[in-house]
């Protein structure tokens, strides 16, 4: 199992976190510093870091910038203590404030703002083979390709499949990670396409 996690990137989502009794992680406003859900989430991050995935992506797209900054500080401390690679899914400005040099950015931001000059490591997501060349020209160091399988996060959207993933890997000169419906059982067939690994959300948030 440990070897498997070495090929997987943990993508966070506080709405999937195991929570204390009676709390609804999907309720707006309940996730903030000092709450039981906040502490439960940080405990979950510790469990994730303990199994040593290749990296942790602090996604949390629906948090306010202020809450995201506070959360990122806490998560960065946990990751630093365990020598775990942390990638922030946020703006370059927030990452710079926190002293984190690894970023995952949408293609739209890379197109409009370019690769952040102070960033050590920048990734983006591609949803077509044609986007691979553009992402590389914009300076991406790695790619998330998806969605590969149908997933609860995007219900009704068919997965693009392993042939799509294989094509992306053939076109890319940087590591490619499958995203969307990825789990431990599917990792061997993902690796067989030439991908560097996969991104898993639910499985890590429910460890």
Domain ranges of the chain: 2-205
Element (H, E) at 13: none
Per-residue pLDDT for 28 more than 60? Answer: no
pLDDT class of 18 with cuts at 50, 70, 90: confident
Mean pLDDT of the chain: 91
Q: How much is the pLDDT for 48?
A: 97
Range 70-95 average pLDDT = 93
Q: How much is the pLDDT for 93?
A: 83
pLDDT class of 25 with cuts at 50, 70, 90: low
Q: Classify strands 197-200 and 102-104 as parallel, antiparallel or unpaired.
A: unpaired
Q: How much is the pLDDT for 2?
A: 62
Q: Looking at per-residue confidence, does 142 or 4 come out higher?
A: 142
Range 41-64 average pLDDT = 95
Q: Give the three-state DSSP class for 79.
A: helix
CA distance 51 to 139: 30
CA distance 205 to 80: 19
Per-residue pLDDT for 72 more than 80? Answer: yes
Range 78-105 average pLDDT = 92
Range 175-187 average pLDDT = 96
Q: How much is the pLDDT for 158?
A: 85
CA-nearest of 153, 163, 152 to 194 is 163
CA-nearest of 17, 85, 99 to 57 is 85
CA distance 13 to 91: 18
Does the structural domain 2-205 have CATH classification 3.30.70.20? Answer: no
CA 180 to chain centre: 11
88-97, 128-137, 140-149, 157-166: the lowest-pLDDT one: 88-97
Range 174-191 average pLDDT = 96
Per-residue pLDDT for 22 more than 60? Answer: no
Per-residue pLDDT for 47 more than 60? Answer: yes
CA distance 5 to 42: 19
Range 92-105 average pLDDT = 90
CA-nearest of 7, 11, 133, 122 to 61 is 11
Q: How much is the pLDDT for 23?
A: 60
């Amino acid at each position: 199992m440990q070897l498997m996690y070495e090929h997987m990137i943990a993508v966070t989502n506080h709405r999937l976190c195991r929570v204390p009794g009676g709390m609804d992680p999907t309720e707006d406003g309940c996730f903030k510093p000092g709450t039981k859900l906040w502490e439960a989430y940080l405990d979950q991050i510790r469990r994730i870091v303990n199994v040593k995935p290749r990296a942790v992506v602090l996604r949390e797209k629906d948090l306010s910038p202020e809450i995201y900054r506070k959360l990122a500080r806490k998560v960065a401390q946990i990751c630093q203590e365990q020598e775990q690679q942390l990638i922030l899914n946020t703006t370059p400005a927030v990452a710079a404030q926190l002293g984190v040099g690894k970023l995952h950015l949408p293609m739209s931001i890379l197109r409009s703002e370019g690769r952040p000059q102070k960033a050590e490591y920048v990734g983006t997501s591609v949803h077509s083979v044609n986007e691979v060349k553009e992402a590389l020209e914009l300076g991406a160091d790695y790619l998330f390709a998806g969605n590969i399988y149908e997933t609860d996060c995007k219900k009704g959207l068919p997965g693009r499949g392993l042939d799509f993933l294989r094509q992306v890997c053939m076109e890319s000169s940087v590591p490619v990670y499958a995203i969307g419906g990825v789990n431990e059982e599917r990792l061997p067939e993902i690796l067989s396409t030439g991908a560097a690994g996969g991104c898993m959300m639910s499985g890590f948030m429910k460890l």
